[in-house]
Structure 1
Amino acid sequence: MSQTEQSIANDRFRSVLGSYPTGVAVVTGLDQQGEAIGMVVGTFTSVSMNPPLVAFLPMKTSRTFQNLREASDKFSINILAADQEGICRTLASPGERKFDAVDWHLSPAGNPIINGVVAWIDCEYANVLEGGDHFIVLGSVKDMGLERDTTPLLFFQRGYGSFSTGPMVLASERETLQCARLAEVARNEIESLANELQMECSLVAPVGNDAVYVAVANHNPENDNPSHLGVRVPLTPPLGTLFIGHENALSEDEWIARLGNKASPDTVAKARSKLSSVQARGWSASLLGNLSADQLEQAVTMYSNPQRTPEQERHFLSSVSTMFDLHEPDELDINEKHDMLHLSVPVRKPNGEVALALRLSEFPSQLSGEIVHSYLQKLQKTAVTIEHLIAAQPEQSVH
């Protein structure tokens, strides 16, 4: 081995090569007992059209590949869809009989095909070569088919995601624009409240899996941060509680699922408890804690970048996780001092759906609980006024 090769550390190798996105596939077959088995790979690739060859690269230490190879001379490639991250994580986890939790059917060659994949490819082993600590498995294609016209699951910088075409992005932009038009009827109300309190008053709307600032009025004389207008924040516990569980919104289970499969039972229980508390009292609050406003601002700005990487998104979620216990405190004691980050109340459409959240931020430090509650009352009164303005709009501009 050359000196150059020895100098490439494992972490550096993973970091650099992880900047190249790959598709996610599952290599499947039947073991010697006829049970479905499979392994998740990010190394599947096409090799040749004449003859038709594909390849994947399992680790030499993979017991699943050893079982696949010993049991049969054939296998199938399953190309996972963008909405099958859960299946991917299930099959990538340790344990036996993982296919018991996955719906599948047999391919023409008798290999397991996971229901809902983008495509499948039946193969026979053409060759198995050694490549460092991996095998290079060449598969001779015998049959193939498209199962579903949808985007594939991608792996990039240790995170999963999907490919978004221009029209998909534009659809999200259209939804954001519709919410902004709805918020425009409340422009005078949020300007008036922001001016009265010398703070920032904003309207936040749920758009897909994010909450987006669609109207902002900032009258804090000490504010030197850029406007939050257009900033996106993920609807991930403990964030976005006012939008969860309503019509046309994320369900509680979908919201909890965004914690990921590594979330501890304690974290899940805390998230459900916070959501229940907000739904019961009808308002949302967050304390600032030890994370400075500038640090949080940088993290939010990073998340709002449409070209953000999974690593940047993890940085944002890590910042939020450090504040988990500061979101939705049980009580705001009127006799104590509080450093507030946000205070929000729902704004509903005539049908009861939560269309917007009316939010106060840029608070003075060390506010008494009594003053915070007076701000909450002003916020709730303004929300009622905005609801009346929305109800007075023509029906097509409300929906």
Structure 2
Amino acid sequence: MMQVPTPASKIDGTRFREVLGSYPTGVAIVSCMDENGMPVGMVIGSFTSVSLEPPLIAYLPMKSSRTFARMRGASTFCVNILAADQEAVCQHIASPVEDKFAGLAWHLSPEGNPVLDGVVGWIDCNYASVTEVGDHYIVLGGVLGMQLERDTAPLLFFQRGYGRFSPGPLIAAAERDTIEAVRLAELGRDSMTALASEFNAECSIIAAVGGDVVYVALENRSPHWRLRSRLGFRVPCAPPLGPLFVGHPGAPADTQWLQRLGRADEEMTARSVAQLERVRSRGWSIALQGPQDAENLDEMVELYTNAHRTPAQERRLLAAAKERSNLHEPADLLEDVAYDVLHLSVPVRDASGQVVLVLRLSALPRAVHMTQIRLWLQRLQHAATGLEQAVAARRETQLS
């Protein structure tokens, strides 16, 4: 066992993880077939290249890992480099289920190790050495073979959150989509201003861009809600947020939307599914006001909107959204109950039926009954129909 020098003062474990967690690492799954011929794998964030001559890689499993103990019986192993869209695969392998490969698509490498379908690439190795260091092993692998499978971005781990690297061209593409959404929203400027003035409220137009929901136009005529302008603000399209966009361009599909819940319990997942179905059945979306929504939510949304936000900031916003999820898309809206409406939204569709924008009323008077809510909805839907006609006319002009 390698001797590790003891620091003069004890390092706090929480601070150690916090500081080292600010350095992003790639995410991989090491796999092999155990002595019983069963596939086994473990998630690692410590994979690195070591040497070109001879070709060596390394990773650092914990000494207490029971999975690694099973893997030591094999003569070879395979490093699966995960793609950015394989977070769900990563979480499944990291979960405590007994058969971690059940339900996953995989095939065998030339050395007979499991290779997960859809990975960026894989590397077959033998055990060059295994050295004890502190509470981990350093495993050196001698490279036997390797293959790139997909030309795509890898999955990254940073501040206890998963993410992806976005090179300049991808950011530019998202900016182009946002600019196009702003141009479409301008077609509804007059209707938006009229609605805000009629109801002394805030009327906004939002779009789905790169998996987020972005405020692309806004008019605030509320005497009660003089908030900082939300123009340009974005929130993640994740339960319970953005249900009108789910399954349409710029937004995640149903399963991807639900996956953004993270490790949610069955009750939370079932609630999100029911909310999505309710929105689609109604054709509109409603969220009610919580007791501490105004400042807390705006502050977190502003942090999320920052291009240099951290995963920790994103987690805080997602956690806040989860906590108030019961205020979104309530199943029963009773005639004799007064409601505080946070926002009311209707879709704007193109000629093919895709949701391209959402028209929203917010900063509304409090304690209103269903009669008033239905009036807001009627006016919103009328304005959305006019905007749909303007969008269709613009597209026809562009094609002619």
Fold match by TM threshold 0.5: yes
Query: Which is worse superposed, 381-390 or 190-199?
Result: 381-390
Question: Does structure 2 conserve the Cα–Cα contact (< 8 Å) formed by 1:175 and 1:207?
Answer: yes
Counterpart in the other structure of 1:385: 386
Q: Counterpart amino acid of 2:37?
A: G
Secondary structure in 1 matching 2:102: helix
Q: Paired residues, what number?
A: 395
Task: Tell me the residue number matched to 1:28.
Answer: 31
**1:147 to 1:292, Cα distance in 2 relative to 1, 3 A:** closer
> What is the percent sequence identity of the aligned residues?
51
Q: Find the aligned partners of 1:86 and 1:338 in 2 and give their Cα distance.
A: 37
Unaligned runs of 5+ in 2: none
| Alpha-carbon shift at residue 171 of structure 1 (Å) | 0.8
* Aligned residue in 1 for 2:65: 62
**Alignment partner for residue 205 of structure 2, among 184, 203, 206?**
203
Matched, 1:116 2:121: no
Aligned equivalents of 2:387, 2:121: Cα separation in 1:
49
Asked if the contact 2:239–2:321 (Cα under 8 Å) also holds between the matched residues in 1, the reply is no
Match of 1:89 in 2: 91
CA root-mean-square deviation: 2.1
Shift of the 62–278 alpha-carbon distance from structure 1 to 2, 3 Å rule, reads same
Structure 1 residue 223, shift from structure 2 partner: 4.1
Q: Does 1:12 align with 2:15?
A: yes
1:126 aligns with 2:128: yes
Which residue of structure 2 lines up, in the alignment, with residue 328 of structure 1? 329
Distance 1:113 1:10 in 2: 34
| Conservation of the 8 A alpha-carbon contact between 1:344 and 1:357 | yes
User: Which sits farther off after the overlay, 213-222 or 160-169?
Assistant: 213-222
2:234 corresponds in structure 1 to: 232
Larger deviation: 300-309 or 131-140? 300-309
Deviates more, 1:377-386 or 1:295-304: 377-386
| Partner residue, 1:50 | 53
Point out where structure 1 has 5 or more consecutive residues left out of the alignment.
none
Do the aligned partners of residues 192 and 152 (structure 1) sit closer, same or farther apart at CA in structure 2, a change above 3 Å counting? same
Q: TM-score, normalised by structure 1?
A: 0.93
Give 2:44's aligned amino acid. V
In the alignment, structure 1 residue 79 sits paired with structure 2 residue 81: yes
Distance 1:77 1:355 in 2: 41
In the other structure, the counterpart of 2:220 is: 218
SS for the counterpart of 1:75 is strand
After the TM superposition, which residues 239-258 of structure 1 pair with which residues of structure 2 at under 5 Å, given as runs? 239-245=241-247, 250-258=252-260
* TM-score, structure 2 as length reference: 0.92
CA distance in 2, matches of 1:142, 1:249: 41
Alpha-carbon distance in structure 2 between the residues aligned to 1:242 and 1:192: 23
Offset at residue 222 of structure 1 (A): 4.4
Contact 1:182 1:397 in 2 (8 A): no
Amino acid at match of 1:372: I
Residue of structure 1 equivalent to 2:359: 358
User: Quick check: 49-58 or 109-118, which moved more?
Assistant: 109-118
Aligned equivalent of 2:277? 276
Q: Deviations over 1:286-328 (max 9, x none)?
A: 1111223111111111221222111101100111112111111
Q: Is this contact kept in 2: 1:124–1:139, CA < 8 A?
A: yes
Q: Secondary structure at the match of 1:169?
A: helix
Give, in whole Å, the separation in 2 of the partners of 1:335 and 1:12.
53
Taking a change above 3 Å as real, the CA distance of residues 115 and 360 of structure 1, as seen in their structure-2 partners, is same
